[in-house]
Amino acid sequence: MNDVPELNSLIGHLFRHHSGKMAAVLSRTFGVRHIDLIEDGIQDAMIAAMKRWPFTGVPENPSAWLTQVAKNRTIDRLRRETTSQELGDTFDVAIDASQDAQFEGEVVDDQLRMIFACCHPSIPPDSQVALTLKIVGGFSVPEISRSFLASQESVAKLLTRAKSKLRDGDVSLEIPVGDELTTRLSPVLKVLYLMFNEGYAPTAGDEVVRRDLCFEAIRLVGLLTSQKSAHVPKVDALAALFYFHAARFPARVGGDGEMLVLGDQDRSSWDREMIGRGFQHLLASASGDEVTDYHLEAEIASLHATSQDLASTDWRRIIECYDILQSRNYSPVVELNRIVAISRMSGTSQAFPALEKLEESGLLRGYFLFYATKARFLTDLARPREAAISFEKALSLAHNESARNLLTKNMAELTERKI
């Protein structure tokens, strides 16, 4: 018998990293209206793997094995839900015929097609994003709730309503064209943005960076840039933002695996090729008249990418970009980043009143990075007891082990400093 804990870890990894791909492939076969049965079939496949692999060993291609079992289990569920044998026979044929099938169209990619299906205009915008993150990104409800800064209950309701639209509506796995493409492109980009963010700073688990999720977002946005109808300036702006951030990956993890914040990173190890790609996309994004939030965020990232250190960073321009972002659509998270930039340019004492005002709003009471930032500010202001309280609060809200380890380390340093 194989090592069960190790196998369960492998299966959990496959579920986390491949469930979205399996859902997209199976939705091509069965139709998105059966998404609940498809997700149940994927879950059944994972359970089957946990039962069989300890005795039979891991298949040569575990992802393919899981996909095939999920297909079979989905057929079983469909047959149990209908008295029509024709339905089952139809899907048997579809599966056999679709093994190597490729869609005709501008974007030949199941996952991208699935994203556009989840962003159908019949589904409300917030539900579109939540649904895509759940089905395509493999996100859990708690992870989506943290990305939205919303309760799990509200996210669960969003997903329920969205899935009802898929079940009841006439949603197909096709890339829209014309005005419909323009309308549905915005939520698609938002999904990719949130997917990359979750990979760059995972809300749970023990990884500093989930590179697979980040590079999947880069791959999908790359498909958009490669297609004439979908290749508009804001797509390039988002691609630029991704590349600038991905360039920092080699420096975000220390020698002993700890998380390194921007000020502690060795900038000489940043990936210069990725920074170059970022600037290529940033230049391409300037071809139109529209300046989107992605343009502004990409500019901020580019200013970090070209700075030798924190002191030489153009904080004034970064603050200007944040001001424009806030004037368009206020975000408490953007406001927190703006306040940090003010502290870098003008000092902590000048930025702290704005941080207190943000705290009074209550908008980030469940956001651990707010309290981590407050703790750093209080440390700079020589108020260690209050800083310790904020560190404790941040620690209570953090679900990522790497982030928790960094907070614990900072708390220990604060205690030593007090002594």
pLDDT tens for 78-123 read 888 765 444 544 444 344 334 433 333 333 467 778 888 888 888 8
CA-to-CA distance for 221 and 246, rounded, in angstroms? 14
Looking at the structure, tell me whether residues 402 and 381 fall in a common domain. yes
Looking at the structure, tell me whether residues 128 and 68 fall in a common domain. no
The predicted pLDDT at position 241 comes to 98
The predicted pLDDT at position 103 comes to 33
Count structural domains, the chain.
Answer: 3
The set of residues, in sequence order, having a beta carbon less than 8 Å from that of 312 and lying 6+ positions away, is: none
Looking at the structure, tell me whether residues 117 and 87 fall in a common domain. no
Looking at the structure, tell me whether residues 140 and 61 fall in a common domain. no
Looking at the structure, tell me whether residues 125 and 191 fall in a common domain. yes
Q: Of 231, 248, 278, which one is at a domain's C-terminal end?
A: 231
Provide the mean pLDDT of the chain.
85
Domain encompassing residue 36: 1-101
Note the pLDDT tens digit of each residue in 293-310.
Answer: 999 999 999 999 999 999
Q: Is 176 left (phi over 0), alpha (psi -120 to 50) or beta?
A: beta
Looking at the structure, tell me whether residues 113 and 205 fall in a common domain. yes
Q: What are phi and psi for residue 205, nearest 5 degrees?
A: 90, -165
Looking at the structure, tell me whether residues 34 and 116 fall in a common domain. no
Please check whether residue 270 lies inside any domain of the structure. no
Looking at the structure, tell me whether residues 123 and 48 fall in a common domain. no
**R_g (Cα) of the chain, nearest Å:** 23
Give the sign of the dihedral formed by CA 243, CA 245, CA 247, CA 253.
Answer: negative
- How does DSSP classify residue 400? B
Q: How far is CA 373 from CA 88, 110, 340, 363, in A?
A: 56, 40, 8, 15
Looking at the structure, tell me whether residues 128 and 88 fall in a common domain. no
CA-to-CA distance for 295 and 129, rounded, in angstroms? 20
Please check whether residue 339 lies inside any domain of the structure. no
Please check whether residue 78 lies inside any domain of the structure. yes
Looking at the structure, tell me whether residues 114 and 213 fall in a common domain. yes
Looking at the structure, tell me whether residues 6 and 109 fall in a common domain. no
What residues does 253 pair with on adjacent strands?
A: 259
Please check whether residue 406 lies inside any domain of the structure. yes
Please check whether residue 346 lies inside any domain of the structure. no
Looking at the structure, tell me whether residues 131 and 66 fall in a common domain. no
The set of residues, in sequence order, having a beta carbon less than 8 Å from that of 33 and lying 6+ positions away, is: 166, 167, 168, 169, 171
Structural contact between residues 78 and 37, judged by C-beta atoms closer than 8 angstroms: yes
Q: Of 101, 120, 148, which one is at a domain's C-terminal end?
A: 101
- How does DSSP classify residue 313? S
Residues of the chain with pLDDT under 70: 1-4, 82-109, 169-170, 172-174, 418-419
The predicted pLDDT at position 109 comes to 67
The predicted model scores a pTM of: 0.79
Select from 272, 255, 273, 275 the least CA-distant residue to 264: 255
The predicted pLDDT at position 268 comes to 94
Q: Of 231, 265, 287, which one is at a domain's C-terminal end?
A: 231
